[in-house]
Structure 1
Amino acid sequence: MLPIQGHCDERFAAVRAAFEANFDTRDELGAAFTVLVDGRPAVDLWGGWADAARTRPWERDTLVNVWSTTKGPLALCAHVLADRGLLDLDAPVAAYWPEFAAAGKENVLVRHLLSHRAGLAGLREPHALEELYDWELTTSRLAATAPWWEPGTRSGYHALTYGFLVGEVIRRVAGMPPGEFLRRELAEPLGADFSVGLPEKAADRVADLVAPGSGRRSQAALLAQLGPVAVAALLNPPTGAKAANSSGWRAAEIPAANGHGTARAVAALYGVLAGGGSLDGVRILSPEAAERVREGQGRCHDLVLGGGFAQETEIALGLWLSGPDGTYGPNPRAVGHDGAGGSFGLADPENGVALGYVMNRMGPHLANDPRKTALIGAVYASL
């Protein structure tokens, strides 16, 4: 194993130990972890390998696809527009995207998109991976699709469609693709090395994702267990490490799932919420808008992820609340988002803490990977 690099305040020695233990006992390949406390980096560690063959060390500026951890920054983009008075979260989506009113969706609200309650967790017709790379085709199919359930009544995780739904509203309001808006309005002002898709100039810095081992259920097993809504959300189209390592995926705009960044960048983007809308003197949201992100929309068994969680969960306006189960630490008002296979971002305003974790060996979990649990536990034990 390559030595762990970076720095860790003495107070957080247990965090370094947990990060090292992920390599020693939890099959970590390459990873990075950043902890911001009151906006200052208290932990910034990285180590391991950027490829399965172990030929490229993980460097300070190594990028990696973080899957659904991308959804947090995307939601922030919508909240920036709302904070500027350009987007009303309680307005019908069709007010900004008229074609969306088709198939009985005229009363779907913007807040329903942000909280996975729009009823559009997946497309009803087969949608190939290459078709996912076509923004106009994917958004037009979503606009024409009928909801799977009555919008607004409960959540059903919009694994891939979330980025196109929220992203198309951002595009209609801001006049630019959501990835471009994120770059201009969040990443560049914060100095965060994060992008939707992978810029060609950064191709030599990206880590390859490695698929889960035998602990991952086969697609056939998933199909046997999942209902039609979950199948549409998670397997139409099927994705995975091979797809995410391809040039087509990296060149596309899939703002629910193909954000590329460092742990430092993830911590900074989630750190905006931990800091009440600002980080290191850069204000992104007003305090009121930052608090609105944490507005819970009701606990329920999620229609897509319900089988994977014993308890009910609650999605706020773009992020998951930690809740009584402590999914994102002991503060039930903390928020965060996992990426398939292990990555996550976390914001805890009450404790002034933001976390960013990225890795390339995907675990078999859609959420709550043991590596994540160990790191969060060590952070809160050190506060």
Structure 2
Amino acid sequence: MIMRGLSFLIIVVALALLPVLCPDPYLLSVVAAAGIMIIAAISLNLLLGFTGQLSLGHAAFFGIGAYTSALLSLGFDVDLGFSSPLVVEPKPVWVAFIGGIVMASLFGWLLGKVAFRVRGAYFVIVTISFAQVMRMVALNWVDLTEGPMALVSIPPLNLWVPGEGVVRLVSKASTYWLVLAAGVLAYVIVANLVRSRIGRAAIALRENEVLAKSIGIPVTRCLIVFSVLSAGIAGAAGGLYAHTVRIIDPDVFLFIYTITMVIMVIAGGKGTLAGPVVGGLIFGLLPEVLRGVVAPEVQWIIYGALMILILLFMPKGIVPAFGGLLKRRKISVRRRPSATQGASS
């Protein structure tokens, strides 16, 4: 456990030094964008990896977090049909950001209460429908969301620095560090959750739901807890996206974002803590690596071929495959001295 903690700390420090060692703004913006998707993939892994529930509407929570955070920071007024319109003054950006997380978590609770009454294909259909409904709301409620014209001039997040006061996090390096800090926090929260009692219950549910019920595990409550936390982390990723890109439109609810998260989780290794991170780095950075090398249509061919190869040769994902390889090497190293001693005797 100590070695794992030390390794994690070394990796975080190495990642934190990237803007110092390589201050290229384009590289930092690409890695930060990949980091936001990694946070979203970590949130999806809570459901897909640790409870076995495939949510194909996870982009909805990402979009809810983005829109809520953006709207609260900008302020809005909307006519709800009452005597006077609802007027919300602009809130501080961190209050708006937390509001986005809370709103996404609330929708995660509501969806969990409804969707977890069914399983399998029915659950998948409910989540897809939910994401599509959210996209149509964002597209058509023009008075609130500006519809296809997008919300613009979203204020960036800020930070109080001693001696300098409030600093707006607009540089590529500060954005990168912000995303890294959020990613590390999400990783630590998920790691502690899955190692807790309710986390072990969720894993038992994933392995055998009937057996989990028979030993007294509250299945629905466990699933709803994971749904709320998963939605909250996805909402945080959406909020980061809104305040770093500073313009959002209904396309944040597109199905392709959920598919990207699923690819990152499955390729990296679902049900592992490091899986979404590894998968996210590969499939988040690969399009940028190939951008200036091959034509766009060839990029998608390579992208798909790599995914197929991973599934063929590493069906459990990259992290479990390399973990198994290291374990076999350790076993072979331990056996080698004993075999040598036997031959000499």
Larger Rg: 2
Higher strand share: 1
Question: TM-score, length-normalised on structure 2?
Answer: 0.29
Larger fraction in helix: 2
